[in-house]
């Protein structure tokens, strides 16, 4: 009975959301895999991260259903490297498996998913990097939805890398220091971010009840709307997703005022 009521509620939310502006670019911080496992007595964290990877399939279907064109996922931060080795390998194993599946599954073509990864990718194991490159190559011709994995990612590091890349290029072009300084602007730095072709995220969702960004898309999120959901990522439901989008639609967006 409860599941049927949730179904009806979900249909109602979907009707409310459709026909209104939806986020062009949705960012999601996938939080709560470990807590989900601990609460359910799952001893193997690999299983928890695998469940989280499976959840992504549903979320992408929900995004496609309402017309979201870009989704960015924070799946592994640079700080995560400091966790126990077994946990790091569990997360990266789940990432590799999901990327391999996205490269091969007909769903990727049906949804028009174009996969990419951003971050300090040189810090990743060769097997993870190979899975990334294979998924990018297999989905390069798809155009309906950009799916970006933030792996070995830190928001501050992205800004540092952007500024360094800008200075390096300008220096190679022979520009003098004062000219480089005078040419620094938001637009200039934006051209050197990891994915400069993506629009800034309109909405960022974080699961598991944490009320902070922790540096996710630090530069790009200046005018994003935020939605914090108590559900752990593996337990994230369609009604949670639609509530987040509805909350976004009900807000009056202000850019710099």
**What pLDDT, on a 0 to 100 scale, did the predictor assign at position 257?**
56
The rounded percent of the chain whose pLDDT value lies above 90 is 81
**What pLDDT, on a 0 to 100 scale, did the predictor assign at position 139?**
98
CATH class of 22-156+200-249: alpha beta
Distance CA 89, CA 66 (A): 34
Distance CA 224, CA 243 (A): 17
Q: Is the pTM of this model over 0.85?
A: yes
Catalytic residue among 31, 146, 202, 240: 31
Is residue 80 annotated as a catalytic residue, yes or no?
yes
Catalytic residue among 80, 142, 161, 200: 80
**What pLDDT, on a 0 to 100 scale, did the predictor assign at position 9?**
84
Is residue 31 annotated as a catalytic residue, yes or no?
yes
Contact present, 46 and 2 (Cβ < 8 Å): no
Q: Tell me the CA end-to-end span of the chain in Å, nearest whole number.
A: 47
**What pLDDT, on a 0 to 100 scale, did the predictor assign at position 246?**
96
């Amino acid at each position: 009975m409860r599941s049927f009521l949730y179904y009806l509620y979900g249909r109602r939310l979907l009707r409310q959301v459709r026909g209104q502006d939806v986020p062009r670019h949705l960012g999601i911080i996938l939080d709560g895999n470990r807590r989900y496992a601990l609460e359910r007595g799952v001893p193997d964290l690999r299983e928890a991260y695998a469940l989280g990877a499976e959840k992504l399939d549903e979320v992408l279907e929900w995004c496609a259903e309402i017309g979201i064109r870009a989704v960015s996922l924070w799946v592994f931060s640079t700080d995560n490297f400091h966790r126990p080795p077994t946990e790091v390998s569990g997360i990266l194993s789940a990432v590799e498996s999901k990327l391999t599946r996205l490269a091969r599954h007909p769903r990727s073509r049906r949804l028009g998913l174009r996969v990419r990864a951003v971050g300090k990718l040189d810090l990743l194991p060769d097997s993870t990097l190979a899975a990334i490159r294979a998924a990018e190559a297999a989905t390069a011709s798809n155009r309906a939805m950009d799916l970006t994995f933030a792996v070995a990612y830190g928001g501050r590091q992205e800004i540092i890398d952007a500024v360094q890349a800008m200075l390096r290029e300008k220096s190679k072009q022979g520009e003098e220091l004062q000219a480089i300084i005078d040419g620094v602007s938001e637009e200039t730095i934006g051209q050197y971010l990891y994915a400069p072709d993506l629009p800034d995220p309109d909405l960022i969702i974080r699961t598991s009840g944490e009320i902070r960004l922790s540096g996710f898309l630090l530069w790009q999120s200046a005018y994003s709307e935020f939605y914090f959901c108590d559900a752990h990522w593996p337990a994230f439901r369609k009604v949670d997703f639609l509530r987040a989008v509805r909350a976004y639609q009900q807000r009056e967006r202000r850019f710099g005022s």
